[in-house]
């Protein structure tokens, strides 16, 4: 039984995407894909140490560094989803009125409303830091809760406090414990969240199953793979959008 | 005796009515009927494994009979105002003095009263120099002496003693025997087992003789030693029995 | 994390939460375990089995249960305890109580087998025997308490859920280690683990010293 | 997860990993703990303190250490054990070994205090006394083994790191619970926790029954 | 005696040279010099707490002297071919038969040889009916008999006995004494403590008398009982000593 190990992020695993597409790939090629879902930083570290054959994450700058250092062969765009800002339905900071993501963040900070940050250097956390700097704010204070946890745990926290939070739409749609939270801001192009896939460099780690790994990459960027991604829905909503035309 | 007199006995006699004791289908004691009368010195005799210790534990209320009943004069199953010295005394993992203090504290005596009683008891039993020693490191005889002292300090109306001098040297044995006679003179009831025939003769007013879990003689000591009716008892006194 | 002050704060919180949980678990678990060793009642075996099994209570489940209790929508929501150190203490207490109870029961049962008749003869009720047995078994009980302490100090699943791992507020050594791991900072994670173990080691050395001293005095 | 087959597979893996780890930890830990109770050598106190402290080894740290060993870039990378059930067994064994060792030492020390002179008189060397003491202490040792089992079966931090929580391959009950929690499916997580506890309960009931039977035969 | 003769003694005499034993700054034994000669019956006497049990444990090699040395004729510190019956025998949490089997298994005897020896021992000590009982539930006397049986089955050259009949009934005591005389006739060396003066008179060839941790007499029994030199020993024999 052939298999490869893919180090990926919790957001893709938690959303159920892999459960949807991997059986199709296996049916086609006979290759089993074992997905280890970790924080983005940890997933890249796993690749760097040669413990995965493929990494599949969303943190563009870090991915490019990974390739530049020679740990990855090449980065391929696969798909994107987007981030949304969620918050208490009564929207104490008036985020709904903001006309951009940065303005939304400024409103939260301005009102001193609670904000739950993942604080784990994940792709989502990196995107959040980008939004704060775009808003010209250095978030600190009692209202800013750095949970140091995965997306799900952070949303669990945000639902309880309640607090605003930045989350990817995939996790949000499949998240069951929303409490008073709902989407209060979305649609700004800066909330675009691209996923890349990279084969771990067999020159660094000779045991990497380059052939099967490349087969997976080839398939996922192929027509069939892209369609598989597009056909994945949660509650009737498409979560991920193919980025290969 | 420096020991205060106990209040007049009210819990005696203790009556055993058709008492039996089975464990796991084995009958260890059967059909024992017996009254422990107030103020008497009863010596329980019998070969090893005859059931003497079981009988004392039944009387003392530590095990419950599986047939018949043990009942005190006041109707209780397990009366206070009794104490027992075990064949193999169990000492607490504390000092000698703390072992003496423990049952007194259980009875709710004040710290002061306890200190006085402990001091008196240590002195009475020659345990003064050992007061601060960990009780479990004492020699065999010292442990037995401590167990005796502890029982004495509880001022019981009935005192059960299971081979209480088996580890004692001859002079200690003599002193303990004298003390037991003294208690008896104060009205304390004594139930004792011993394999020391001389001791039995010296102490017994009544004798109960057990054989394989049955009570086959219960008579005044003078009669018993003059010539027991049961052949087993006769053989026992002659040292004839073989296991 | 780099800042020493932050590290100190995290260490302080870890110690406070764990030691309080151990203290509470001992205050309840030692007498309860001893009572369970002594008591005879129908269903005693079942209670013992349940406590034994609860030694395997998954921290996440313990955390979730406490979370659902303390949640704003839960029965105790009004106490506003969620995401506070108090909630973490509660979750850890739930987690280690079965360990303290089961190990205490086991130790006390052995001593009770030896002491039962003598204590009853001396006039101790079963209730009154409990402190006696705990005291006489103190050296052997220490290992069980240390097992509970170890479990609490190493635990992350429950404190993460009810504490939220909020920086500067409910972040402990173990949740910090988990965070650094998910950031891929494996070296830092291991370093934090070593600091935690060093603390644990120190506490254990003190406990052992105290135990030896007690044993010496007790013979 | 919905599929019963998947659930069965997860349960099976959990049991396999945990029971194997307990078995290995007992095979090493029981004799080692007993030997530690009997042996007298300089530094014995330190070794005991270290094992006591290691009861508080954070699972994440145990997991990381095993991970760094088994990683392709680690010393044992060529074994290709990472993200396999075997790696999980190894990590859990590391985790519960100190528990088994420490609790065994504590129990055996008590029996040894009683038996030492008699066994030496009968001609038993300390080495030969080890199996004797383990056998005579078997009822009391059971609780320690169950504590180790509980820790292993409830554990998630280490198996997550070295197993990777790969669906259908290294996903256990506890990692599934963690996953469902992070999905916000708290109800499902608690339900899985209850299944896990039910399993633990069953195993504990069997162990208790066996212990009672042994106690009956042993007096 | 159905017991096979031991091989001719080579490990004796055991010499104690200026032996002392201190615990926590307390001197429990001091300056004891003594030889245990082959084939003799030595009875160690003394009051409770005099140090008899400590002396036997020192000789048997269970504790190490803190001063002086104990040395066997073959130069070893702790010789095989010895056995000891403790004042408070420790039985394993197993059946009576398993308790007898254990030391034989330690010596590497075959299963068959063990089964035969166990059967013979059970029979010799009247323990047959108790073979399958858990040893720890035996009566006090039965436990002591089992401990004696276990020591006997080990075929020692030297047998240390610490008050071995303290819990036995009179006939069991007589039988054990006869057996000890029998062993002695076979050449087995016997070191025994007892508080039973009659037993001491019957069994002793030599007497060692301890007083507060010091050896104050070591003489042939006849001399000793005729009239010991030391006043402490005289007082002891008269039962005069008080603690
Ligand atoms: N480990 C120990 N620590 C402190 N004191 C001890 C220890 N062992 C024995 N002793 C003390 O040493 C003295 C001698 O003890 P030993 O057991 O040898 O007495 P013994 O002569 O056998 O008395 P007995 O006739 O009562 O058995 C006693 O006073 C006892 O309390
Ligand atoms: N819990 C028990 N389970 C099984 N048998 C027991 C139990 N307790 C006592 N026995 C048996 O019951 C019999 C009587 O025991 P007991 O201790 O009363 O004897 P005893 O007359 O005191 O003998 P000794 O003179 O040796 O002390 C013995 O054969 C003993 O083995
Ligand atoms: Mg008896
Ligand atoms: Mg002695």
Report the share of chain D in percent with pLDDT over 70.
Answer: 97
| Residue of E140, E169, E236 lying closest to B87 (CB–CB) | E140
Report the share of chain B in percent with pLDDT over 70.
Answer: 91
In the prediction, which pLDDT does B1 show? Answer: 40
pLDDT band, very low/low/confident/very high, at C218 (cuts 50, 70, 90): low
A173 pLDDT more than 90: no
CA distances from A124 to A64, A72, A237, D161 (A): 17, 22, 21, 21
B3 pLDDT more than 80: no
Shortest distance between the Cα of C183 and any Cα of chain A, in A, equals: 4
pLDDT tens per residue, range C35-85: 999 999 999 999 999 999 999 998 888 888 898 888 877 888 788 888 889
Locate the ligand 2 atom nearest the alpha carbon of residue B87 and give its number.
27
Chains touching E by CB (3 or more pairs below 8 Å):
B, D
Q: Is B237 helix (H, G, I), strand (E, B) or coil?
A: helix
Q: How far apart are CA D151 and CA D89, in angstroms?
A: 13
pLDDT tens per residue, range E118-153: 999 999 998 999 999 999 999 999 999 999 999 999
Q: Is C167 helix (H, G, I), strand (E, B) or coil?
A: coil
* Arithmetic mean of pLDDT, E159-183: 91
D40 and chain E in contact, CB less than 8 A? no
Task: Give the H or E element holding residue A117.
Answer: strand A115-117
Between C153 and C184, residue with greater pLDDT: C153
pLDDT tens per residue, range B194-210: 999 889 999 999 999 99
Give the range among C23-37, D24-38, E126-140 with minimum mean pLDDT.
Answer: E126-140
Residue nearest to atom 17 of ligand 1 (CA): B139
Q: B62 CB less than 6 Å from ligand 2?
A: no
pLDDT band, very low/low/confident/very high, at E237 (cuts 50, 70, 90): confident
Averaged pLDDT of chain A: 90
Shortest distance between the Cα of C105 and any Cα of chain B, in A, equals: 19
Averaged pLDDT of chain D: 90
In the prediction, which pLDDT does D13 show? Answer: 94
In the prediction, which pLDDT does B214 show? Answer: 93
Do the beta carbons of residue D38 and residue D112 sit within 8 Å? Answer: yes
Shortest distance between the Cα of E167 and any Cα of chain B, in A, equals: 7
E102 pLDDT more than 90: yes
Among C17, C40, C49, pick the best mutation site for testing chain D contact (most D Cβ within 10 A): C49
A205 pLDDT more than 70: yes
B77 pLDDT more than 70: no
Q: Using DSSP bridges, classify how beta strands A164-168 and A72-88 pair: parallel, antiparallel or unpaired.
A: antiparallel
A101 pLDDT more than 50: yes
Write out chain E residues lying below 8 Å of B168, CB-based.
Answer: 48, 195
Of residues A56, A61, A92, the one with CA closest to residue A76: A56
B241 pLDDT more than 60: no
Q: Reduce the secondary structure of chain E to three states and give it as a string.
A: CCCCCCCCCCCCCEEEEEEEEEECCEEEEEEEEEEECCCCEEEEEECCCCCHHHHHHHHHCCCCCCEEEEECCCCCCCCCCEEEECCCCCCCCCEHHHHHHHHHHHCCCCHHHHHHHHHHHHHHCCCHHHCCCEHHHCCHHHHHHHHHHHHHHCCCCEEEEECCCCCCCHHHHHHHHHHHHHHHHCCCEEEEECCCHHHHHHHCCEEEEEECCEEEEEEEHHHHHHCCCCHHHHHHHCCCCCC
pLDDT tens per residue, range B119-164: 999 999 989 999 999 999 999 999 999 999 999 998 888 999 999 9
Q: Is C78 exposed, middle or buried (0-12, 13-18, 19+ CB in 10 A)?
A: exposed
Query: CA nearest C125 in B: which residue?
Result: B106
Q: Which residue segments constitute the domains of chain C, with CATH numbers given?
A: 2-214 (1.10.3720.10)
Q: E126 CB less than 6 Å from ligand 2?
A: no
Do the beta carbons of residue E219 and residue E206 sit within 8 Å? Answer: yes
Q: Is C208 helix (H, G, I), strand (E, B) or coil?
A: helix
Shortest distance between the Cα of E46 and any Cα of chain D, in A, equals: 23
Exposure string of B108-136, with b = 16+ CB inside 10 Å and e = fewer, is eeeeeebeebbeebbebbbbeebbebbbb
Task: Give the H or E element holding residue C30.
Answer: helix C4-38
Residue nearest to atom 27 of ligand 1 (CA): B140
Q: If you average pLDDT over each of A28-42, B3-17, E93-107, which comes out highest?
A: E93-107
pLDDT tens per residue, range E206-225: 999 999 999 998 999 888 88
Q: Are D218 and E90 within 8 A, CB to CB?
A: no
In the prediction, which pLDDT does D1 show? Answer: 43
* Arithmetic mean of pLDDT, D110-134: 93
Residues 86-125 of D with CB under 8 A from E: 114-115, 117-118, 120-124
Q: Are D53 and C150 within 8 A, CB to CB?
A: yes
In the prediction, which pLDDT does E1 show? Answer: 39
Of residues A229, A239, A241, the one with CA closest to residue A84: A239
Phi-psi region of A201 (alpha: psi -120 to 50; beta: other; left: phi over 0): beta
pLDDT band, very low/low/confident/very high, at C3 (cuts 50, 70, 90): low
Alpha helices in chain A (DSSP H): 10-15, 17-29, 40-48, 60-68, 101-111, 123-135, 151-160, 169-174, 210-221, 223-230
E226 pLDDT more than 60: yes
D3 pLDDT more than 80: no
In the prediction, which pLDDT does E78 show? Answer: 64
Among B86, B92, B134, B139, pick the best mutation site for testing chain C contact (most C Cβ within 10 A): B92
Q: How far apart are CA E140 and CA E146, in angstroms?
A: 10
Count of pairs with CB atoms under 8 A, one residue in B, one in C: 45
Which ligand sits nearest to residue E213's alpha carbon? 1
Is the four-CA dihedral A64, A67, A72, A73 of positive or negative sign? positive
Q: How far apart are CA E90 and CA D118, in angstroms?
A: 6
C42 and chain B in contact, CB less than 8 A? no
Are there at least 3 beta-carbon pairs closer than 8 Å between E and B? yes
B5 pLDDT more than 50: no
pLDDT band, very low/low/confident/very high, at D69 (cuts 50, 70, 90): very high
Of residues A12, A5, A6, A7, the one with CA closest to residue A151: A12
pLDDT tens per residue, range C191-200: 989 999 999 9
**Mutational test site, ligand 1, from B126, B138, B147, B176, max ligand atoms within 8 Å of CB:** B138
In the prediction, which pLDDT does E2 show? Answer: 45
* Arithmetic mean of pLDDT, C181-203: 87
pLDDT tens per residue, range B169-186: 988 899 889 989 988 998
| Residue of C118, C122, C136 lying closest to B106 (CB–CB) | C122
- Which residues from B are below 8 Å from E when comparing CB atoms? 23, 46-49, 52-53, 87-88, 125-126, 138-142, 145, 162-163, 166-175, 195, 197, 236, 239-243
| Residue of D103, D107, D161 lying closest to C181 (CB–CB) | D161
Query: CA nearest A48 in D: which residue?
Result: D73
Spatial CB neighbours of B168, under 8 Å, sequence gap ≥ 6: B141, B144, B145, B176, E48, E195
Residues 124-153 of D with CB under 8 A from E: 124, 128, 132, 136
Among C113, C116, C123, pick the best mutation site for testing chain B contact (most B Cβ within 10 A): C123
- The model's pTM is 0.91
pLDDT band, very low/low/confident/very high, at E77 (cuts 50, 70, 90): low
Spatial CB neighbours of C182, under 8 Å, sequence gap ≥ 6: A38, A39, A41, A42, A120, A122, A150
For residue D117, report the distance from its CA to the centre of ligand 1, in Å: 15
Residue nearest to atom 2 of ligand 1 (CA): B137
D41-44's contacts with Cβ under 8 Å and 24+ in sequence apart are: none
Torsion angle, alpha carbons of B178, B180, B186, B191, to 10 = -150
Q: Are D150 and C190 within 8 A, CB to CB?
A: no
A153 and chain C in contact, CB less than 8 A? yes
Report angle CA D194, D196, D201 to the nearest 5 degrees.
90
* Arithmetic mean of pLDDT, A23-38: 90
Q: Is C217 exposed, middle or buried (0-12, 13-18, 19+ CB in 10 A)?
A: exposed
D177 and chain C in contact, CB less than 8 A? yes
A177 pLDDT more than 70: yes
ipTM of the modeled complex: 0.89
Give the range among A2-16, A53-67, A154-168 with minimum mean pLDDT.
Answer: A2-16
* Arithmetic mean of pLDDT, A102-127: 90
* Arithmetic mean of pLDDT, C101-111: 95
Q: Are B102 and C118 within 8 A, CB to CB?
A: no
Among C108, C113, C114, C118, pick the best mutation site for testing chain B contact (most B Cβ within 10 A): C118
Residue nearest to atom 19 of ligand 2 (CA): B49
* Arithmetic mean of pLDDT, E48-73: 91
Q: How far apart are CA C72 and CA A163, in angstroms?
A: 13
E66 pLDDT more than 50: yes
**Mutational test site, ligand 1, from E23, E24, E54, max ligand atoms within 8 Å of CB:** E54
Locate the ligand 2 atom nearest the alpha carbon of residue B28 and give its number.
12
Of residues D132, A148, D138, B215, the one with CA closest to residue E91: D132
CA distances from A99 to A89, A96, A186, A188, E207 (A): 18, 8, 10, 8, 109
D33 pLDDT more than 90: yes
Q: Are E49 and B168 within 8 A, CB to CB?
A: no
Shortest distance between the Cα of C161 and any Cα of chain A, in A, equals: 7
Residue nearest to atom 12 of ligand 1 (CA): E28
How many other β-carbons are positioned within 10 Å of the β-carbon of residue A244?
14
* Arithmetic mean of pLDDT, D144-171: 90
D219 pLDDT more than 80: no
D103 and chain C in contact, CB less than 8 A? yes
Q: How far apart are CA C31 and CA C48, in angstroms?
A: 14
pLDDT band, very low/low/confident/very high, at E6 (cuts 50, 70, 90): very low
Residue nearest to atom 8 of ligand 1 (CA): B137
A119 and chain C in contact, CB less than 8 A? yes
Q: Are E170 and B195 within 8 A, CB to CB?
A: yes
CA distances from C133 to A28, C216, D103, D161, D169 (A): 68, 18, 19, 43, 48
């Amino acid at each position: 039984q052939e298999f490869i190990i893919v180090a990926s992020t919790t957001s893709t695993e938690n959303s159920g995407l892999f459960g949807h597409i991997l059986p199709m790939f296996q049916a086609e090629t006979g290759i089993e894909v074992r997905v280890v879902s970790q924080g983005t930083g940890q997933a890249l570290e796993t690749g760097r140490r040669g413990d995965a054959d493929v990494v599949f994450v969303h943190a563009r700058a870090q991915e490019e560094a990974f390739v530049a250092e020679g740990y990855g062969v090449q980065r391929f765009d696969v798909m994107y989803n987007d981030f949304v800002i969620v918050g208490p339905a009564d929207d104490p900071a008036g985020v709904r009125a903001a006309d951009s993501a940065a303005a939304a963040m400024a409103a939260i900070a301005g009102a001193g409303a609670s904000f739950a940050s993942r604080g784990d250097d994940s792709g989502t956390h990196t995107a959040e830091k980008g939004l704060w700097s775009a808003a010209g704010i250095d978030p600190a204070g009692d209202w800013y809760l750095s949970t140091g946890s995965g997306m799900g745990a952070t949303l669990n926290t945000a639902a309880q406090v309640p607090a605003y939070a930045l989350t990817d739409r995939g996790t949000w749609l499949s998240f069951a414990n929303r409490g008073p939270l709902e989407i209060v801001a979305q649609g700004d192009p800066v909330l675009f969240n691209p996923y890349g896939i990279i084969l771990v460099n067999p020159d660094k780690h000779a045991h990497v199953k380059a052939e099967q790994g490349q087969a997976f990459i080839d398939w996922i960027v192929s027509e069939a793979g892209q369609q598989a991604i597009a056909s994945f829905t949660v509650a009737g909503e498409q979560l991920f959008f193919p980025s290969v035309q | 005796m420096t020991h205060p007199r106990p209040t007049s006995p009210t819990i005696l006699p203790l009556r055993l009515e058709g008492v039996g004791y089975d464990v796991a289908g084995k009958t260890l004691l059967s059909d024992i009927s017996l009254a422990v009368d107030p103020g008497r010195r009863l010596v329980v005799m019998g070969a090893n494994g005859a059931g003497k210790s079981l009988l004392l534990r039944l009387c003392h209320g530590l095990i419950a009979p599986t047939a018949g009943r043990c009942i005190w004069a006041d109707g209780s199953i397990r009366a206070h105002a009794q104490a027992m010295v075990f064949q193999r005394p169990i000492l607490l993992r504390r000092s000698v003095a703390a072992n003496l203090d423990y049952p007194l504290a259980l009875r709710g005596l004040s710290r002061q009263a306890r200190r006085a009683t402990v001091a008196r008891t240590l002195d009475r039993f020659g345990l003064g120099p050992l007061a601060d020693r960990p009780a479990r490191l004492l020699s065999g005889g010292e442990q037995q002496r401590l167990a005796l002292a502890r029982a004495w300090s509880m001022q019981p109306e009935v005192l059960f003693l299971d081979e209480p001098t088996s580890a004692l040297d001859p002079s200690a044995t003599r002193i303990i025997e004298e003390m037991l006679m003294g208690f008896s003179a104060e009205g304390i009831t004594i139930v004792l087992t011993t394999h020391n025939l001389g001791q039995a003769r010296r102490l017994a007013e009544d004798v109960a003789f057990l054989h394989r879990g049955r009570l086959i003689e219960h008579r005044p000591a003078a009669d018993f030693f003059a010539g027991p009716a049961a052949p087993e008892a006769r053989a026992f006194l002659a040292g004839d029995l073989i296991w | 994390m780099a800042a020493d002050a932050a590290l100190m704060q995290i260490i302080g919180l870890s110690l406070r939460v764990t030691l309080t949980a151990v203290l509470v678990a001992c205050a309840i678990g030692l007498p309860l375990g001893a009572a369970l060793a002594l008591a005879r009642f129908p269903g005693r075996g079942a209670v013992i089995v349940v406590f034994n099994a609860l030694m395997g209570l998954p921290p996440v489940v313990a955390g979730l249960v406490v979370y659902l209790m303390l949640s704003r929508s839960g029965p105790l929501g009004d106490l506003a305890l969620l995401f506070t150190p108090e909630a973490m203490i509660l979750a850890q207490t739930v987690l280690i109580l079965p360990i303290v109870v089961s190990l205490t029961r086991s130790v006390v049962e052995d001593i009770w087998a030896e002491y039962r008749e003598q204590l009853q003869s001396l006039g101790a009720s079963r209730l009154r025997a409990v402190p006696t047995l705990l005291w006489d078994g103190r050296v052997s009980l220490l290992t069980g308490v240390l097992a509970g302490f170890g479990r609490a100090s190493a635990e992350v699943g429950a404190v993460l859920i009810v504490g939220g791992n909020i920086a500067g507020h409910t972040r402990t050594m173990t949740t910090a280690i988990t965070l650094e791991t998910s950031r891929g900072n494996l070296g830092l994670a291991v370093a934090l683990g070593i600091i935690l173990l060093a603390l644990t080691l120190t506490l254990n050395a003190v406990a052992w010293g105290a135990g030896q001293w007690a044993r010496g005095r007790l013979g």
